[in-house]
Amino acid sequence: MEIIPKFLEKNGLIFAFLVVGIIIYLSGIISDKLTRRKIPASAIAILIGLVIAYFGGVYSGGEKGIADVKIFSGFGTLGGSMFRDFAIVSTAMGASFSVLRRTGWVGALSLFLGIVLSFLGGVVIALFWGYRDAVSLTTIGAGACTYIVGPVTGAAIGASSDVIALSIAAGVVKAVFVTIGTPFAAKYIGLDNPHTALIYGGLMGTTSGVTAGLAATDPKLVPYGALTATFYTGLGCLACPSILYLLMRITFGE
């Protein structure tokens, strides 16, 4: 019997693909039979994945969640930045540039509004946590934009490792909520066409959350939301440690 665990360990990435395929298959059955497709199969698969990741991390006691379990080590590669970024970049192949041009200034405005509103929300949370210095407030506010902007900003302005960790946590929580909430909110906010997907990506910003949420809503919308969400991350990395940090220093001092 020892040969099976060893075989799975040596072929971890392939086994990870197999497990994901099984989860998607079962999610489709649950969606059809139990919810009559009112809850998309992709959303159910995401929820199952989050639950498995959580309990896998508790069981293993490690830092990589389920990837710390040897037979599931392939999830460390499958869920890593390489596959994530490849998936995000590849979605741009389906984008229509004529639709992008028609979005015009509204798409650009959504980027600035999304960054400012998320940043201010993070600052408010940081104030409730007891932080009063500009560096901590800016770092946590940046983390509320995305879990990438947070550590980039914190490193640039000299934040402590604890504050940077909090900024990452804030970004992860936001990504999870966007991932799960997008399919349920889509019909109420008119998220059913490329134009609104572009604006939604600019407002939410978290590329992973927007991509997964739109995939659960309508895969055809993914290239548009992912595009503006990617710009959001780049703009946030520029604005948070510069303009927004200066505003925090003026408001709260050193």
What sign does the dihedral 85-91-97-101 (CA atoms) show?
Answer: negative
Task: Tell me the average pLDDT across 124-145.
Answer: 91
Query: pTM for the full model?
Result: 0.68
Structure-token pair, residue 251: 């408001």
Residue 192 pLDDT: 85
Backbone dihedral region of 37: left (phi > 0), alpha (psi from -120 to 50 degrees) or beta?
A: left
> 90 vs 103, 202, 206, 215, 224, CA distance in Å?
21, 19, 17, 13, 12
What value does the mean pLDDT take over residues 90-96?
A: 56
How far is residue 108's CA from residue 199's CA, in Å, rounded to a whole number?
Answer: 8
Encoding tokens for residue 19? Answer: 């497990």
Q: Which pLDDT tens digit goes with each residue over 154-191?
A: 988 888 888 888 888 888 888 888 888 888 888 888 88
Tell me which DSSP letter residue 61 carries.
-
pLDDT digits (tens, 9 = 90+) for 39-92: 667 667 877 887 887 777 666 666 666 777 888 888 888 877 677 666 655 655
Which residue in this structure is represented by tokens 């309508």? 218
Q: So what's the pLDDT on residue 209? A: 82
Token pair recorded at residue 233:
């991350």
Q: Tell me what pLDDT residue 49 has.
A: 80
Count Cα atoms within 13 angstroms, Cβ side, for 210: 31
Residue-averaged pLDDT of the chain: 82
